[in-house]
Structure 1
Amino acid sequence: MNEKILVVDDSHFNVRILSDILEAENFTVFSANNGFPVLEMAHTLQPDVILLDIMMPGIDGFEVCKILKSEYEVRDIPVIMVTARTDGKDIKMALEIGAFDYIKKPFDEIEVIARIQSALRLKELQDRLKSLAMKDGLTGLYNHAVLVELLEKEVSKQRRSKGNLSFVMLDIDYFKKINDTYGHMAGDRILKDLSNILTASVRKGDIVGRYGGEEFSIVLPGAIRDDAYNLCERIRRSVDEHEFSIGDQNVKITISMGVFAHDFDDNSYETEIIQKADELLYRAKKNGRNRVEVM
């Protein structure tokens, strides 16, 4: 298996029992003895399932579950509440705040594994549906809606950390002519190949998406103006030098790019950032295409 399970219980004895049960089934187990580090561990480890004790000192399992379900990056991790109580009110509350299931103490090994496997099946389905909803069907890149949402999150992070961020808009020069000459299937092939070049060219942590049609966008967290320009120049040259295969023919294309370097003290919203990058892309088109314009 190798799925990751996070076990949270203030009893070392209970953690040991659950760890033994899970490790015997080849799960990778992480643990915490209180609720305070759980959110950070969930973000860092991205466990497949969290087993969360209800009764803990300081902050109980209900509060921890509420916090997890309020966080975008971890809210889809199935939480299974662990309780010694048989009171239906506790179970009802756990399910109402977003827990997937519950396990009662003392532990039954077969029940623990069965409930974990049920949670894993749910997560697999959720991950598949989430991926389909987030990705562009043709290129496999982030779609327009998700791209804008991720840009918004990166801008918020940038303001908190007083860091840098650059945003890129690019499109294929004379793409309509390619479709008219070679057909839309050939155009789709070029869009896919260009997507591969973009994803292979950016840094880890950069965000590439299909903005729409032949337009693409790149979010470059931490990138200052010169770094963003240099990266985009490398991408532009890579595309200019690449031969795109369409059947038994090789086709050359070029791209134009607009790069807006956003300062953390600039109060522009994501829509304004996109508009500024789009204006720079238009300038690149006006100034002869196959070029990068930056601000």
Structure 2
Amino acid sequence: MNGRDVNIPECPEGNDNCCLAAELRRLRAERDRLLELVETDQLTGLYNYRHLIKSLDHEMERTRRTGLPVALAMIDLDFFKRVNDRYGHEAGNKALREVARICKHRIRRIDILCRYGGEEFALILPGTRLEMAVKTAERLRRELRSTPVNLEGRDVIITASFGVGVYRTRDTFSVEEFIRHVDRYLLLAKSRGRNRVCYRESRVDSLGTDLSREERKALLDDKGK
């Protein structure tokens, strides 16, 4: 919404208070529009990293206040570099938009889907326990696997790997630590062959706890295993 769309009644002549209120409404509408732009990924129309951090911080605070858990799913598209290399970056952008559309239509209205960066996405699931979060991730994984994306006249299957974690009142993570915690499960899904969901019961210890930046890049690299 922009300032021109706001229905501002005309002020009676000489009524300065009315005119001031109308101007304040216009400024608030413009502020809200700018905030929305700042927190929106322009390619996919999803929320961006900035909004992810703000929303996750808010939901974690809600967990500490109410005791209701919040789940986070980290999502990475498998072998996406091959899509860009074979069909071009415009087709790759189309694929990202389609993935965003598919996922957005398979989640609840209260869920918050963000583009984390590149071909990575993050999904915040407020008030959600681990079992339901894993079911949601599995549903999205199956939906992506069974929905071809038409690129340059060809139907292309795009799969994704998921890491899922839950923040509870007993946890002491910061926002960034929680993301890194869930990211370990995503890396485990990548290391186990991709196109799967990994979470706490997936024996993440087998992956190790001190991955270097280079090791993480190797696991996410499309030229990896």
- Interval of TM-score (by shorter of Structure 1 and Structure 2): 0.7 to 0.9
Corresponding residue for residue 281 of structure 1:
186
Structure with the larger RCO, 1 or 2 (CA within 8 Å, 6+ apart): 2
1:147-206 CA distances to partner (integer Å, 9 max, x unpaired)? Answer: 112111111110111111111100100000110000011111111111111221111211
Write the mapping of 1:1-295 to structure 2, written as runs, cut at 5 A: 25=9, 110-295=15-200
Q: Which runs of 5+ in 2 are unaligned?
A: 201-225
TM-score, structure 1 as length reference = 0.62
Q: CA deviation at 1:245?
A: 1.6
Q: Which runs of 5+ in 1 are unaligned?
A: 5-21, 27-106
Q: CA deviation at 1:215?
A: 0.4
SS at match of 2:105: helix
The answer on whether the counterparts of 1:225 and 1:261 sit within 8 Å (CA) in structure 2 is yes
> Considering only aligned residues, what root-mean-square deviation do their CA atoms show, in Å?
2.3
CA–CA distance in structure 2, aligned partners of residues 145 and 116 of structure 1: 31
SS at match of 2:42: coil
Q: CA deviation at 1:248?
A: 2.0
SS at match of 1:258: strand
Tell me which structure has the larger Cα radius of gyration: 1
Q: CA deviation at 1:263?
A: 1.8
Q: Percent identity at matched positions?
A: 35
SS at match of 1:217: strand
Residues 3/121 of structure 1: CA separation in 2 closer, same or farther (3 Å cut): closer
CA–CA distance in structure 2, aligned partners of residues 234 and 226 of structure 1: 12
Q: CA deviation at 1:267?
A: 1.0
CA–CA distance in structure 2, aligned partners of residues 272 and 117 of structure 1: 44
SS at match of 1:264: coil
TM-score, structure 2 as length reference = 0.80
Q: Which amino acid aligns with 1:275?
A: R
The answer on whether the counterparts of 2:59 and 2:126 sit within 8 Å (CA) in structure 1 is yes
CA–CA distance in structure 1, aligned partners of residues 39 and 62 of structure 2: 21
The answer on whether the counterparts of 1:239 and 1:254 sit within 8 Å (CA) in structure 2 is yes
Q: Larger strand proportion, structure 1 or 2?
A: 1
